[in-house]
Amino acid sequence: MKTHTRVVVIGGGVVGCSVLYHLTKLGWSDVMLIERSELTSGSTWHAAGGFHTINGDTNMAALQGYTIRLYKELEAITGMSCGLHHVGGVTLADNEARFEQLKAERAKHRYMGLDTEILTPAEITKLTDGLVDVKGILGGLYDPLDGHLDPSGTTHAYAKAARMGGAEIVLHNRVLETNPTAEGWEVVTEKGTVYCEHLVNAGGLWAREIGAMAGVYLPLLPMAHQYIVTDDIPEIMDILKAGREFPHVMDPGGEFYLRQEGRGMCIGFYEKPCEPWAVDGTPWNFGHELLNEQFDKIEDSVNFAYRRIPVLERSGVKRVIHGPFTFAPDGNPLIGPVPGLKNYWSACAVMAGFSQGGGMGLALAQWMIHGEVERDPRGFDVARFGNWTSPGYTVPKVIENYQMRFSVGYPNEERPAARPFRTTPMYEVNEQLNAVWGQQYGLEVPNYYALPGEPRYEEPTFKRSNAWEATRQEVLAVREGVGINEVQNFGKYLVKGPNARAWLDRIMAGRIPKPGRLSLTPMLAESGKIIGDFTVSCLSETEFQLTASYGAQGWHSRWFESHAEPGVSVENISDARSGFQIAGPKARELLSRVTRADVSAEAFKFMDVKRLTVGMANCIVQRVSYTADLGYEIFTDHMSVRHLWDVLNAHGKDLGLRPFGMRAMMSLRLDKWFGSWGREFSPDYTPAETGLDKFIAWNKPSDWIGKAAALAEKAKGPSRKLVPLVVDADDADVVAWEPIWLDGAVVGWCTSGGFSHWTGKSVAQGFIPADRVVDGLEVEVEILGQRRKARVHLAPLWDDQGRMRA
DSSP letters along 543-567, please? Answer: EEEEEEEGGGHHHHHHHHHHT--TT
Q: Under a CB-based contact definition with an 8 Å cutoff, are residues 56 and 252 in contact? A: no
Q: Under a CB-based contact definition with an 8 Å cutoff, are residues 521 and 547 in contact? A: no
Q: Which of left, alpha, beta for 171 (phi over 0: left; psi -120 to 50: alpha)?
A: beta
pLDDT at residue number 42: 84
DSSP 8-state symbol, 422: B
DSSP 8-state symbol, 431: H
How many CB atoms lie under 10 A from the CB of residue 134? 20
| Closest by Cα among 721, 716, 736 to 772 | 721
| Closest by Cα among 646, 566, 639 to 614 | 646
Using CA atoms, how far apart are residues 563 and 584, in angstroms rounded to an integer? Answer: 39
Q: Under a CB-based contact definition with an 8 Å cutoff, are residues 588 and 579 in contact? A: no
Helix axes 58-78, 151-164, angle to 10 degrees: 70
Phi, psi dihedrals of residue 69, rounded to the nearest 5°: -70, -25
Phi, psi dihedrals of residue 34, rounded to the nearest 5°: -120, 125
Using CA atoms, how far apart are residues 231 and 226, in angstroms rounded to an integer? Answer: 17
Sign of CA dihedral 399, 405, 407, 412: positive
pLDDT at residue number 725: 98
**Architecture label for domain 468-488+577-672:** 2-Layer Sandwich (3.30)
Which H, E and C letters describe 321-381, residue by residue?
EEEEEEECCCCCCEEEECCCCCCEEEEECCCCHHHHHHHHHHHHHHHHHHCCCCCCCCCCE
Q: Under a CB-based contact definition with an 8 Å cutoff, are residues 676 and 666 in contact? A: yes
Helix axes 14-25, 151-164, angle to 10 degrees: 30
| Closest by Cα among 316, 314, 311, 277 to 294 | 277
DSSP 8-state symbol, 499: T
| Sequence ranges of the chain with CATH classification 3.30.1360.120 | 468-488+577-672
DSSP-based three-state secondary structure for 269: strand
pLDDT at residue number 731: 95
| Closest by Cα among 73, 44, 106 to 287 | 44
Question: What is the enclosing helix (H) or strand (E) of 522?
Answer: strand 518-524
Pairing of strands 631-637, 577-583: antiparallel
Phi, psi dihedrals of residue 613, rounded to the nearest 5°: -95, 120
| C-alpha of 755 from chain center | 24
| Sequence ranges of the chain with CATH classification 3.50.50.60 | 1-83+145-220+328-387
pLDDT at residue number 534: 98
- pLDDT tens per residue across span 158-170: 999 999 999 999 9
Using CA atoms, how far apart are residues 16 and 159, in angstroms rounded to an integer? Answer: 9
Q: Under a CB-based contact definition with an 8 Å cutoff, are residues 470 and 451 in contact? A: yes
Helices marked H in 460-526: 468-480, 500-507
Exposure b/e, 191-229, CB count within 10 A at least 16 = b: eeebbbbbbbbbbbbbbbbbbebbebebbbbbbbbbbbb
Residue 783, CA distances (Å) to 90, 106, 678 in order: 22, 11, 20
pLDDT at residue number 52: 86
Could you tell me which CATH number the domain at 490-574+676-696 has? 3.30.70.1400
- Average pLDDT over the chain, rounded to an integer: 96
Could you tell me which CATH number the domain at 1-83+145-220+328-387 has? 3.50.50.60
DSSP string covering 142-209? EETT-EE--HHHHHHHHHHHHHHTT-EEE-S--EEEEEE-SSSEEEEETTEEEEEEEEEE--GGGHHH
Q: Under a CB-based contact definition with an 8 Å cutoff, are residues 620 and 545 in contact? A: yes
Using CA atoms, how far apart are residues 214 and 632, in angstroms rounded to an integer? Answer: 44
Taking the CA of residue 525 as centre, how many other CA atoms within 13 Å lie in the half-sphere pointing to its CB?
Answer: 21
Q: Under a CB-based contact definition with an 8 Å cutoff, are residues 576 and 553 in contact? A: no
Low-confidence ranges of the chain (pLDDT < 70): none
pLDDT at residue number 106: 92
* Residues in the chain, overall count: 806
pLDDT at residue number 25: 98
How many CB atoms lie under 10 A from the CB of residue 288? 12
Helix axes 96-112, 58-78, angle to 10 degrees: 60
What are the residues whose beta carbons fall under 8 Å from the beta carbon of 254, sequence distance 6 or more?
Answer: 301, 304, 305, 308
Beta bridge partners of 435: 449
* Amino acid occupying residue 439: Q
| Closest by Cα among 226, 221, 209, 205 to 44 | 205
Using CA atoms, how far apart are residues 44 and 150, in angstroms rounded to an integer? Answer: 10
Sign of CA dihedral 160, 166, 172, 174: negative
pLDDT at residue number 801: 75
Could you tell me which CATH number the domain at 719-806 has? 2.40.30.110
pLDDT at residue number 713: 96
pLDDT at residue number 294: 87
How many CB atoms lie under 10 A from the CB of residue 3? 10
Q: pTM of the entire structure?
A: 0.96
